[in-house]
Amino acid sequence: MNARVRDVEELNSQPINIKAKKMLEQVGEELEPSSLYAVQLAWWGINKGGLTTEVSVAETIEAMLAWRPARLMNFFMLTRDGNFHISGWEETNNPRELAQLLLVEIEKKVFLYFPGYFSID
Query: pTM to 2 decimals?
Result: 0.88
Over residues 50-95, the pLDDT tens digits come to 999 989 899 999 999 999 888 888 888 765 555 677 889 999 999 9
Q: Where are the alpha helices (DSSP H) in 27-67?
A: 37-47, 55-64
Higher per-residue confidence, 74 vs 46:
46
Q: What is the mean pLDDT of residues 7-36?
A: 93
Over residues 96-113, the pLDDT tens digits come to 999 999 999 999 888 887
Q: Which residues contact 92 (CB under 8 A, 6 or more apart)?
A: 19, 98, 101
Higher per-residue confidence, 9 vs 26:
26
Domain boundaries, the chain: 3-113
